[in-house]
Structure formats: structure tokens, C-alpha cells
Amino acid sequence: MSVAVLTDSCASIPRPLVEELQIEVVPYYIHIGERTLRDLVDVHPDGFFQWLPTADELPKTANPGPGDYLAAFKSLRERTNQVVTIHMTSWGSGAYQAALVAKEMAEKEIPGLEIRVVDTKQVAMAHGWAVIEAARAAQEGASIEEVVRVAEEVSAKGMMIQTADTLRYLYMGGRIGRAKHLLGSVLSIKPLIGMEDGVIVALGQARSRQNAYQKMIKLMEKKAGKGAAIKAAITHVAAPEEASKLQAMVEEAFDCREMLIAELSPALGVHTGPGTVGVCFYPLS
């Protein structure tokens, strides 16, 4: 009986991998007026990101509550007695805390189920890679301690770099962190943001998309080394053509042992907006 791996929809893991690796995904919530929608269940990227620029007010998002995680734990108990649940940075969401509460509830309501909760201090596919590699380890028969170790190691080595035409969505959603000073940049400037110690930070700015992508490559080289062996995911919000451009540059600059393309889930992409393009990677050395 292998360890089960659970995460939430903001990891933005491509659906084929979710199914192949039997990853349990708990959806975030999106509130549009009086409607409450489940991320990647009731609302999907194509329609949502077409509509978003026309919205008068930015939709609100909410992490799953303890009850949502408890329900997932109960479902997983039917096939395992060990669960590792892996979450985006606790500085940007309450999901990690909700899972901890659910773990306490499960100790009373689901006897015999061992649960470990991991805070990746990452976001998007930097979070997603930790989930993917943990799930692969679990499928190979790793112990629960080993699955946790893999998730923590990949999280610690991971890096997210992202650019967009505007920081408006991050600012309106209250997720701008320490990149707030870039708000005053002129419209032609493309901000680069990343994550340090679980908080959004400014990594620089560029005068064009192409220049932004070139700076991303430089930041990746600083982190991993020139031509390093990496696993990477190109992330985007309704920008597949731009994602392909960045993919080609990353594949030319690095020894990419695995490359994924992942569109951010609506609950995550709402905070960065259409046109967002980024890379989430970790070095293999």
C-alpha cells in the first residue's frame, strides 16, 4: 500500500500527470459576486481568462478549509494508511494551516491514518514539482519519510521567475509582497518577480518581453549554473505563444531533463492576469 500524495489546485500540475501519478487535488475557491466556484472543477482557464480583463472587480479567492482536506483524507483512507499533503507557501495562503487543522481532526475521525503536512514556501509549478517528484517516489514504494524528504528537497532547490504586462492583478489581490515598489513603473516596463522565503519579491525589470526572457535565463544561470541539468515547467496565463518562446530559450540554455508546459489555474492566475509567462525549475545537481 503506497503513500498517497495530496495537494491543491494552485499547484497547476498538468492534468495528465495528476492522473498518471494518482495525485489527489483539492480545489481552491473563486468568488465572483455571489457565486462560489471550485477551481478546475466549476471554472477552467480558457473561459475564465477570456472573461477576466472585462471584470469590473477582481474575483476573490479562498483556500480550501479544514473540512475540504478532511474529506480528502477520508477518501484516501480507502486506498492507503499514509498521506503526504503538500502546499504552496504558508505566507501567501492559508492552505497549509487548514491542512494542519484537518490533520488534527483526522487523528480523531480517521484512526490509523498517518498524515504529514509540507509547506513548500513555493508557488505555481515550483510547488508543483515538489508534488510531482514526491508522487513519483511514492509510486516507486518510498516510505512516508522519504516522500516528505523528496518534497522538501525539491522545494528548497526550486525557483519561480515570472513576468507580466502589469502588476495590477497582484496588487488588487493583495499578493504583491515585497514587489510593491515596481507598481510605479511605466507601462512599457515588464516586471520580473520571484519568491524568496515564501514571499513574492522583485527580481528586476525589463523593457520588452524578449529582454525579460533573457533576464530570466540569466537568473536561472545564477541559480543553477550555465548549461546545468534541470527540470523546468513553463507557466503562463492565456499566453501559449509567449510560453513557447520562453521554452525554446530555456531548452537552448540548459540541459532540460524534463520540460512541462502548465497554464496556471484560475485561482492562481487571477492574481497575475492574462499575459503572464514564467518558468519554475529546479537544478538536478
Q: Per residue in 199-214, pLDDT tens? A: 989 899 898 999 999 9
Q: What is the pTM of this model?
A: 0.93
Average pLDDT value for the chain: 92
Pairing mode, strands 4-8 and 82-87: parallel
User: Do residue 73 and residue 138 come from a single domain?
Assistant: yes
106 touches 76 (CB < 8 A): no
User: Do residue 164 and residue 269 come from a single domain?
Assistant: yes
What pLDDT shows up at residue 57?
A: 84
Listed in sequence order, the residues at least 6 apart from 208 whose beta carbon sits closer than 8 Å to its beta carbon are 188, 190
Give the domain range for residue 93: 4-28+63-156
Last residue of a domain, one of 156, 172, 202: 156
User: Do residue 16 and residue 128 come from a single domain?
Assistant: yes
User: Mind listing the pLDDT tens digit for each residue in 19-78?
Assistant: 999 999 999 999 999 999 999 999 999 999 999 988 888 899 999 999 999 999 999 999
With respect to residue 43, please indicate whether it lies within any of the assigned structural domains. no
Q: Does pLDDT of 171 surpass 90? A: no
User: Do residue 22 and residue 148 come from a single domain?
Assistant: yes
Place of cell 513553463: 234
**What whole-number distance in Å separates Cα of residue 225 and Cα of residue 218?**
9
CATH number, domain containing residue 108: 3.40.50.10170
